[in-house]
A and B are shown apart, each in its own frame.
Chain A
Amino acid sequence: MTGKSKENYNENYLRYIRTQDPPTQHFKNCAAAFGVGGLICCIGQFIRIMLEYAGLTGDELAGSTSVILIFLGCLLTGLGVYDRIGRYAGAGSIVPITGFANSVTSPAIEFKTEGWIYGMAAKMFTVAGAIVVFGVFSGVLVGLLYYFI
């Protein structure tokens, strides 16, 4: 239910639905998100330390870390493991960069049946496209702001 069309729904029906819904388990949800999110960040930290030992520094270090995490996210999505983690962890699996990888890979695999160009390639950016669009736009704004101030 979106907030906008709320008044169009029958109040009694909504009340009935609410009695049938399982209650949101706030504590369990939040604990799972915190735990899984924290764990993914720890994996990131582990990769970072390993790469630091391998002699990477600065931008190269940060970039390589996210590339490896994105690879893991894509692979786990392909294997169907990430969706299962996501059902349990909610935001804990959405918010880390692996969730971004999941949002790219998942539609790419799903819409492969609709063809390579309009299916796989175009649908790849259903969610990531929004991130890139707003990211580039806000990034340019920040750049201009810092340039002129």
Chain B
Amino acid sequence: MGQEMLDIFLQFLKAFAVGGGICLIAQIIINFTDLTAGKILVYFMLAGVVLTAIGVYQPLVEFAGAGATVPISGFGYLLANGAIKGAEKGFFYAVTGSLSAASAGVTAAVVFAFIMALIFKSRTKRN
């Protein structure tokens, strides 16, 4: 039992360190350039796609679990991974694989955002 608890603790520690590290890199980039949030999201997503394509991100996901899949680069990992898996099945799946893999995330974002827009009113931003 003690060993099992230690394993779970280590999982959280790794997720915290890697996930926090990715956010830290983004914060340093924001501090030293004038990139907006949208650009940061796109660049990190593309970085995830490229790192997955060259085979660097998969070991990181196996090491850090949610620490690597929760940041937006994990969304890029999902896309690239879907495309790579699809490419083994054939040409059609090589093209459609990436969006199929990301369908859960996009669907969830659209549906939940719609529901929230139905429920909540926009509020004035308090600074």
Contact = CB atoms under 8 A, between A and B. Distances in A.
B97 to A, nearest CB: 6
Contacts of A69: 70
Decide if the interface of chain B is mainly helix, strand, loop or mixed. helix
B49 A49 contact: no
A37 B104 CA distance: 22
A106 to B, nearest CB: 9
Given A34-B20, A136-B98, A139-B98, A48 B46 contact: no
Interface residues of A, number: 79
Contacts, number: 275
Decide if the interface of chain A is mainly helix, strand, loop or mixed. helix
B27 A45 contact: no
A146 B98 CA distance: 12
Interface of B: 8, 11-12, 15-24, 26-31, 34, 37-38, 40-42, 44-46, 49-50, 52-53, 64-67, 69-76, 78-80, 82-84, 86-88, 90-91, 93-95, 97-99, 101-102, 104-106, 108-110, 112-117, 119-123, 125
